[in-house]
Structure formats: structure tokens, C-alpha cells
Structure 1
Amino acid sequence: MPEPYGVSVFIIDDNETTRAVLRMIIQGELYHVIGEANNGISGLARARKLRPDIVCLDIEMPGYNGLDVLMEIKKTLPNTAVLMVTGSNDRATIVTAIQLGASGFILKPFNSGIVLDTLDKTAALLKPHLKSSS
């Protein structure tokens, strides 16, 4: 059965509540949450397999943190946009994430309007890629 039309999104966050809230905000007609992971290692493996259009990636995770995962995603899935999920506004971390290829940030605590606006802006940048891959 073909996947529903929309932009595919994968969530990587070690906090179950955060994943659930993001999933509830994101899932709809425009966005299809195709999976999630609770750590960087399994998240990276599943993202490589599922090849989502957008990954929502927590920065602070035990073990393989979000910046490590971001570097690997950009190497192996260069057309996948990565939105960093964070509760911190640490300037050095934000600058590093941008230098590593992050497409944007989703700040905690979540505001559904801002999350969807961030996804909309990111998806608009992906449109040429999305059309060429269909």
C-alpha cells in the first residue's frame, strides 16, 4: 500500500513525552510521522533505512548525542532536512548545529503553531527535492 501524500518526518528523542507531543503536533494531512527512536544510535540506523524528508532530532541525548547524529545524517542522507529539538539556547551549540547542516530549530517547550511553521518553512525548501524524487 502506498504511503499517504505528505512530507515524511522521523523523530529522534530520548524523552518519550517529547516524542509523543511532537508526534501529536506533526501528524496530519501535510506531515506523516514514519517512525521514531529513543536514542541516537537506533535513530540513525532507522533514519538511514526509512530515508525521511525531515528528521526532528534532540540535541541532548545520552551516548550518541544529536550533533553526532546530525553529522552522520548529513553524510549519508544529504537531502534530509534536520530540525534540532532543544530546550537550551546555548549559542555555541546552535552555531555548531548550523555549521553541521541543521535546517532549523524547534524549541522546548513546544508551541504547536511554531512547530508547524518551522516544518512548513523547512518543507518549502525541500520542494524541489521532493518533486525530483517522486
Structure 2
Amino acid sequence: MIVDDNDMMRSILRSILRGEEYDVIGEARNGSIAVEMAERIKPDIICLDVVMPEKDGLEALCEIKAARPETEIVMVTSNADPETVQEAIQNGASGFIIKPFNAARVLDTLEKVAARCRK
């Protein structure tokens, strides 16, 4: 599942994943929708933007992990300050993708997370 308030970012991530073994089963443009969708469609992995309207990625991360601890969440952010990274990891984030990103970095990060899902 891809969560980002920027339509272009969601489109770029979707096109990177489409050519690989990943199925994008849902998209959301803010944290509130992401929490509801995660409960309903039960994705294995969520790419979750940190800065979004209504509910930011860190709030959504906490709520999703509380309801579905088995869901792996990769934070996507242009703001990789140490406090944000530490807070996300303490709350259960499995990895980080820093914007601007390239396809190789996205796929490498997701492969590491997907390997945990398969165990």
C-alpha cells in the first residue's frame, strides 16, 4: 500500500513497484485514510509518507502498528532528521526511503522488508 499526499510521489512509487513482484493493493493521500485502509485491506507492507495533512505518517504508523503489528511499514520522507528517524523506528517502522529516491534504493529497501515478511 502506498500513502503519500503528493499524487506524483504515489505515481512514481507505483510505477517502480509495478515492474517488480509487488502488488499495490491500495493508495491513500493522508494518514487518516491510511489507518482505515490498512485495517480493511491488510497489506503486508506500507510505504508511508511522514509529512501529510490530517494525520501525519508518525501518527498513522503508531495506529497501524497497534492494530496490525505484523504489517511492515517503510517511512518515505524528505526530512530524515535524527529525531524523526528515531521516533519512527521506536514506533515500529521497518525502514526508510529518503526523497528524492531512485528505483534501486526503493527496491533494495523493500526487498529487505519483504524478506522479513516471508520468514
Same fold per superposition (TM over 0.5): yes
Aligned to 1:76: 67
Aligned to 2:54: 63
How big is the shift at 1:47?
A: 1.2
Q: Does 1:100 align with 2:94?
A: no
Q: Percent of aligned positions with the same letter in both sequences? A: 51
Aligned to 1:7: none
User: Gaps spanning 5+ residues in structure 1: where?
Assistant: 1-9, 129-134
Aligned to 2:33: 42
- Provide the aligned length of Structure 1 versus Structure 2: 119
Counterpart secondary structure, 1:31: coil
How big is the shift at 1:62?
A: 1.5
* Aligned AA (2:3): I
| CA deviations over 1:8-42 (Å, ceiling 9, x no partner) | xx011100000000000012341000010111111
Q: Does 1:90 align with 2:81?
A: yes
Aligned to 1:6: none
**TM-score (norm. length: structure 2):** 0.97
Counterpart secondary structure, 2:27: strand
* Aligned AA (1:30): E
| Displacement over 4 Å in runs of 4+ | none
Aligned to 1:132: none
More strand per residue = 1
Q: Does 1:26 align with 2:28?
A: no
CA RMSD after TM alignment: 0.8
Write the distance in 2 (CA, Å) between the matches of 1:39 and 1:74. 16
User: Gaps spanning 5+ residues in structure 2: where?
Assistant: none
User: Kindly tell me: are residues 21 and 29 of structure 1, through their superposed partners in 2, closer, same or farther at Cα, counting changes over 3 Å?
Assistant: closer
* Aligned AA (1:38): R
